[in-house]
Amino acid sequence: MSSAEPTKQTGPAVRSHADRDRVPAPAPMPGLAESARLLADSATTSSALVADALARIEAAQPTLNAFRHLRAEAALAEAAEADRRLAAGERLPLLGVPVAVKDDTDVAGLPTHFGCDGERPPATTDSEAVRRLRAAGAVIVGKTNSCELGQWPFTEGPAFGATRNPWNTAHTPGGSSGGSAAAVAAGLVPAALGSDGAGSVRIPAAWTHLVGIKPQRGRVSVHPNHDAFQGLTVNGPLARTVADAALLLDAAAGAHPDDFHRPPAVRASDAARRDPGRLRIALAWRPPLTLTGAGPDPEVRRAVAALAETLARLGHHVEEARPRYGLIGLTFVPRATAGIAEFAARHPEPALLDPRTRTALRTGTRLGGRVVRAARAREVRQHRRIGALFDASGYDVLLTPTTAAPPPRIGTFDRLSAWRTDVTMAAACPYAWPWNVLGWPGINVPAGFTRSGLPVGAQLLGPSRSEERLIALAAQLEDDLRWYERRPPIS
């Protein structure tokens, strides 16, 4: 795959289970923290880890189609330099470790297509998040696929084909950070950065059996956008373990001087080693109003209920509750569509955009200006109303399903109108997006599998700046459930 041109795949080949059974699976790639430890102990080299990641990506690309661009030559050169630095005694949190980033993130020398078709010039500078990852020593091996402008909970489009779920390639890994999720779940890279504007880290994490952290707004810079999608979108990590996700969060976190949102620093990796204490946890089954009548699929409900029972067994007080969401969707829609309009207006060839994107562009243009300002002004009242769950009712964490449904089949959203796409999407994914409106943190944790083997997830949600509590609770769950021991057929 060229680092200068996108790889288009309209019909990637899918190997059968029998074919996979005949090919011995390679040893699993070590996780992020383990890779860093092996490098610091001189038990491996960055050149070996990066070459292994590139080989795995190339081998899986016809099946999973997780990547839009690879930086093979540049990444190997950076790995060799990392080895020289390691040999000289230098130590950094991720020195020499391969990671991937989503293709809405600027990496100098590569175009940022953000799921769109057409030509784009290479970015001249790194985004702030990539700059910080490099400062921590990470080697960026490539950019992962996203649906067009990050709008949908699937990662498919004419520009690159369909990105597939390593647990079952007939199904989507979710979106819009589906490429990052597929790459991590399949063990192509130890961890990857995604972005979350309405659940786009948490949804694919749920559907690929990963930990996905949506941090507090501003925790990880979205520079050069500063206020992406009217404050809805944040960058966050996807990884197989809480410790790996926390390590990537620590490495990427921090503000650019021009950023609007600058929360105080957290120590995510320290939180992953901390006992969360005994918490009061509210379990909410009812999603906010979406006019779809959506509720959790019975298999999703069964899995999340089992997770709630685990939390109770671990000593937490868990009881059902109903957050007062109100009509929060009326403020989400103007912000989301205005954000799409802002990004779509930058496309040099608008005719190449999906018709649904052009519909969102028109809607966002109509709802921009005064309507968006009014929607954002309501956020303070939404903080008070929904925050009463924590402040007045005394809960520490809100537990919900991450999605109402298991991962849909590839092509489910093909040829749907903009309206039908939105309705179908809202029915499948009604739980995640309110926390983007609020700007508060949340974590997807694996909740188990359907009877047909498809992953589903649960959200741990908290009030403002509560990442450390959520991470500590997720780590406690992981220590008990050991979800990282189960791997997909393609790995």
SS3 of the chain: the string is: CCCCCCCCCCCCCCCCHHHHHHCCCCCCCCCHHHHHHHHHCCCCCHHHHHHHHHHHHHHHHHHHCCEEEECHHHHHHHHHHHHHHHHCCCCCCCCCCEEEEECCCCCCCCECCCCCCCCCCECCCCCHHHHHHHHCCCEEEEEECCCHHHCCCCCEECCCEECCECCECCECCCCCCHHHHHHHHCCCCCEEEEEECCCCCHHHHHHHCCEEEECCCCCECCCCCCCHHHHCCEEEEEECCHHHHHHHHHHHCECCCCCCCCCCCCCHHHHCCCCCCCCEEEECCCCCCCCCCCCCCHHHHHHHHHHHHHHHHCCCEEEECCCCCCCCHHHHHHHHHHHHHHHHCCCCCHHHCCHHHHHHHHHHHHCCCHHHHHHHHCHHHHHHHHHHHHHCCCCCEEEEECCCCCCCECCCCCCCCHHHHHHHHHHHCCCCCHHHHHCCCEEEEEEEECCCCCEEEEEEECCCCCHHHHHHHHHHHHHHHCHHHCCCCCC
Catalytic residues: 102, 176, 200
